């Protein structure tokens, strides 16, 4: 099996795991990953994470030309914005996960620091998450908004829509977006309960100790 074949299988396996555990539903969500030659494999438009076919993933070359497979997700501008602004990005995942979306609806959420510091793991895997405003699904303006961050955030939350995370590879991106959803779930569960957050000193210690990319 070639390295690209293994990557195709891994994308579909991870996507199905996310779907089977309810982290996205129906034909929502999209996923992409860098190929060994610098191209991209992308989930097709209208496809379900629970039923992706490795042979039908959209294949792009390093210049962004569609070579084979089904037509890609309409959220391609979102994916390419991360790859173009974050040289270390090897994969991008976008979900419609329930608790992250619910938390984005709350009126007092910090746009520059979407997730409250409830556990160290969201800090470690995501850094600070930017809450972006609502855009129509597929609107190229979403990509423009990500480009406006100049590569300083690995994760954003699209208001009333869903999270998007870039990682060094597809496993890292999936792990990080799961952490985002888990932290958002804790935020929703503890909303109005005055939970004990990590303080600024504790967050700073985590950032320093684990060498977290942290945009102030």
User: What are the phi and psi torsion angles at 136 (to 5°)?
Assistant: -60, 135
Could you confirm whether 83 is annotated as catalytic?
Answer: no
Task: Kindly list the strands in the beta sheet with 91-94, ordered across the sheet, starting from the edge strand earlier in the chain.
Answer: 66-68, 58-60, 40-42, 30-34, 91-94, 162-167, 155-158, 130-132
Q: Which of 121, 171, 213, 215 is catalytic?
A: 121
Q: What is the sign of the dihedral through the CA atoms of 93, 97, 103 and 106?
A: positive
Q: Which of 75, 178, 179, 181 is catalytic?
A: 75
Strands 58-60 and 130-132: unpaired
Q: What is the sign of the dihedral through the CA atoms of 40, 104, 204 and 195?
A: negative
Q: Which long-range CB contacts under 8 A does 141-147 form with residues at least 24 apart? A: 142/75, 142/77, 142/78, 142/81, 143/77, 143/78, 143/80, 143/81, 144/77, 144/81, 146/78, 146/81, 146/82, 146/85, 147/81, 147/84, 147/85
User: Active-site residue numbers?
Assistant: 75, 121
């Amino acid at each position: 099996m070639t390295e690209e074949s293994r990557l195709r299988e891994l994308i579909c396996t991870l996507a199905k795991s996310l779907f089977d555990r309810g982290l996205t539903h129906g034909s929502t969500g999209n996923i992409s990953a860098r190929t060994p030659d610098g191209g991209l494999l992308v989930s097709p438009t209208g496809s379900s994470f629970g039923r992706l076919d490795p042979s039908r993933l959209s294949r792009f070359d390093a210049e962004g030309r569609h070579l084979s497979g089904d037509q890609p997700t309409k959220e391609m501008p979102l994916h390419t914005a991360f790859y173009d602004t974050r040289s270390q990005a090897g994969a991008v995942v976008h979900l419609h996960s329930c608790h992250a979306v619910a938390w984005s609806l709350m009126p007092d959420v910090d746009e520059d620091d979407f997730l409250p510091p409830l556990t160290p793991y969201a800090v470690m895997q995501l850094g600070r998450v930017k809450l972006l405003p609502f855009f129509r699904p597929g609107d190229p303006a979403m990509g423009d908004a990500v480009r406006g961050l100049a590569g300083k955030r690995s994760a954003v939350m699209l208001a009333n829509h869903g999270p998007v995370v870039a990682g060094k590879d597809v496993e890292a991106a999936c792990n990080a977006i799961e952490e985002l959803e888990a932290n958002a779930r804790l935020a929703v569960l503890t909303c109005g309960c005055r939970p004990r957050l990590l303080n600024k000193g504790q967050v700073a210690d985590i950032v320093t100790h684990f060498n977290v990319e942290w945009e102030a």
